[in-house]
Amino acid sequence: MGRVMFVILLWLSAGTLLSVVRGEDPYLFFTFNVTYGTISPLGIPQQGILINGQFPGPNINCTSNNNLMINVFNNLDEPFLLTWHGIQQRKNCWQDGVAGTSCPIPPGTNFTYHVQVKDQIGSYFYYPSTAMHKAAGGFGGLRVNSRLLIPVPYPDPEDDYTVLIGDWYTKSHTTLRKLLDSGRSIGRAEAVLINGKTAKGDGKDEPLFTMKPGKTYKYRICNVGLKASLNFRIQSHSMKLVEMEGSHVVQNNYDSLDVHVGGCFTVLVTADKVPKDYYMVASTRFIKSVLTSKGIIRYENAKAPASPDLPKAPLGWAWSVNQFHSFRWNLSASAARPNPQGSYKYGNINITRTIKLVNSAIRTKGKLRYALNGVSHVDPETPLKLAQYFEIPDKVFKYDTIPDIAPSDVADSLSVQPNVLNITHRDFVEIIFENHEKTMQSYHLDGYSFFALAIEPGRWTPERRKDYNLLDAVSRHTIQVFPKCWAAIMLTFDNAGMWNLRSEHAENRYLGQQLYISVLSPERSLRDELNMPDIQLLCGLVKNLPKPAPYT
């Protein structure tokens, strides 16, 4: 069976998939060949990171409970890791593909991820999680469809489209990395791309998508960029929001949506206008010199080109805060249960711990670092999870490096070390992100979805809990924090593992604005956490250590 599969895989063109039923949950097999290649998204050739020759990489299409077997061949000249952004990896941080859980895949070798997607129906993406590789590509869409048994709260669309938007730098990922390593910022992007392109508007642009008049289409929009929040809109068409980051929401119509780095929306768009071309537009928000990108949506039988008049983006961030307030979880939608333990009445659960994280940008000896509560994280050579599993954590990191509540002088202190928080399994925790800076923030937590309770201006105090949405906040994996604002989330830490909490802004993360949350399975029990896979790559201090007794 195994050999037959291998032969068929070689025979199929790269990126195609094959599904086999083993027991209950089907397996889907993917081969990802990661290479450098020349791309010219702005008309000028530059080095990109391709998957199976594609930029962006291929879409992964799967259904809840599917087992994804993704065999990644690293043909770059550098170690490489992919992360499956927003996929919860229940009991299985081994597959998370971040430096704190996995050794990177050495150049010239391959590694197979085994990711089981659970009931988190929605739009996601994958991307390279280390070494600024994301600046060169390596990302692609990932959609989780509903099993037939679980209805989604809208009719089947005519077709399903992935729209990956992001800011883009013409400098290579190695140049950007050198800037960061020397303690400088990567500065502003040169452009915005939509699915790796930007339309010129010279009448020769190929359409990105086509629509049949009268039909309704699903668009999955994710911000895969490095740091710019983007506003997304479509000429003359409104978008009905149906899902965001794995939760079905109250279906409001929007003329435009602010998509922050790491965030994803699923919208329905009906082709009910004059049959011609229309532009979809993505433009930067909250920075003075606005960058805009467009791409064509063509009606079948289109009679005319798209109008060059692009719809205007909203101004200022108050608009965006209001938009956040309009997002409500659809409590009656039967699909997409984000919390398998079922804490739907999250507003009634007593908080066991409050953590307030304040981000800071600090220059030390002239070099820029970013921190959370005064600690700027560095990835040790031995992944944190492996150090823990092999029971040598003391040789690699300390627990609870930061205080739960940021001290008031947080902007003046800096220590550079691995940043690990110890959270008790199943605790119900409130986390506040307070942004004292003048720049946007976007935070992402691996392994979980959380209730996005509030985003408000100013500083957080316990009294501000009155601003929380304790009824129908959307369960998400990423939350933006506007300049001089705070955001609050709540969740039950019921997924044992070592989980990355990070600034989704690539520069901030690279220079230390991230930490890991260790949620231990106290009994090393298989009920709580899966064993380290046999093929797990070992590096650093654990490379030659005997394997500890597996979980039971």
Ligand X SMILES: *[C@@H]1O[C@H](CO)[C@@H](O)[C@H](O)[C@H]1NC(C)=O
Could you tell me the sign of the dihedral formed by the alpha carbons of 111, 112, 116, 122, in that order? positive
Burial class (CB in 10 A: 0-12, 13-18, 19+), 123: buried
How near is the Cβ of 52 to ligand X at its closest, in Å?
Answer: 8
Nearer to ligand X, 157 or 483 (CB): 157
Distance CA 225, CA 169 (A): 10
**Closer residue to ligand X, CB minimum distance, 117 or 261:** 117
**Taking a C-beta distance cutoff of 8 angstroms, is the pair 525, 487 a contact?**
no
Nearest to ligand X of 109, 364 (CB atom): 109
Q: What's the CA angle centered on 490, arms 484 and 493, to 5 degrees?
A: 130
- The DSSP code sequence of 21-62 is --SSS-EEEEEEEEEEEEE-TTSS-EEEEEETTBSSPPPEEE
Q: Which of 65/439 has CB closer to ligand X?
A: 65
Can you tell me the distance from the alpha carbon of 268 to that of 243, in angstroms, rounded to the nearest whole number? 10
Widest Cα–Cα separation across the chain: 69
Nearer to ligand X, 150 or 378 (CB): 150
Structure-block tokens of residue 548: 């500890």
Give whichever of 75 and 185 is closer to ligand X, judged by the CB atom: 75
Task: Read off the tokens for 200.
Answer: 């010129």
Q: How far is the CB of 72 from ligand X (least distance, A)?
A: 8
Task: For residue 489, give the amino acid letter.
Answer: I
Least Cβ distance, residue 312 to ligand X (angstroms): 28
For ligand X, the closer of residues 273 and 425 by Cβ is: 425
| Region at 236 (left for phi over 0; alpha for psi -120 to 50; beta for the rest) | left
State in angstroms the smallest separation of the CB of 3 from ligand X. 9
Cα 422 to Cα 267: distance, rounded to the nearest angstrom: 38
Q: Which is nearer to ligand X, 2 or 203 (CB)?
A: 2
Instruction: List the structure tokens of 82.
Output: 């992919």
Burial 4-20 (b: 16+ CB within 10 A, else e): eeeeebeeeebbebeee
Q: Is the peptide bond preceding residue 56 cis, with omega within 30 degrees of 0?
A: yes
Whether 497 and 89 have beta carbons less than 8 Å apart is answered as: yes
Question: What tokens appear for 537 in the block?
Answer: 């790559």
**C-beta of 185 vs 238, nearer to ligand X:** 238
Task: Provide DSSP, 303-315.
Answer: -SPPPS-PPPPP-
Instruction: Give min distance, CB of 281 to ligand X, in A.
Output: 25
How many C-beta atoms surround the C-beta of residue 504 within 10 A?
25
Q: Whose Cβ is closer to ligand X: residue 75's or residue 172's? A: 75
Q: Least CB distance from residue 32 to ligand X, whole Å?
A: 9
289 DSSP assignment? S
Min separation Cβ 457 and ligand X, Å = 28
- Closest approach of ligand X to the CB of residue 14, in Å: 6
Nearest CA among 530, 537, 532 for reference residue 548:
532
Query: What is the closest distance, in whole angstroms, from the C-beta atom of residue 61 to ligand X in the complex?
Result: 4
Burial zone of 471 (CB within 10 Å; 0-12 exposed, 13-18 middle, 19+ buried) = exposed
| Residue least distant from ligand X (Cβ) | 153
Q: Measuring CA to CA, how many Å separate 314 from each of 166, 284, 311, 349?
A: 18, 11, 10, 37
* CB of 124 vs ligand X, minimal distance in Å: 14
Q: Which amino acid, one-letter code, is at 156?
A: D
Shortest distance (Å) from residue 332 CB to ligand X? 5
Q: Return the residue matching tokens 């019921």.
A: 494
Q: Are 74 and 80 in contact (CB under 8 A)?
A: yes
Q: Least distance (Å) from ligand X to the CB of residue 213?
A: 22
**CA proximity to 54, closest of 86, 23, 10, 15:** 15
Shortest approach of ligand X to residue 393 CB, angstroms? 7
Where along the sequence are the contacts to ligand X (CB under 6 A)?
A: 6, 14, 33, 35, 61, 63, 71, 73, 75, 110-112, 145, 153, 250-251, 330, 332-334, 350, 399, 422, 424, 535
Q: Which is nearer to ligand X, 326 or 422 (CB)?
A: 422
Contact 429, 353 (CB under 8 A): yes
Q: Which is nearer to ligand X, 43 or 342 (CB)?
A: 342
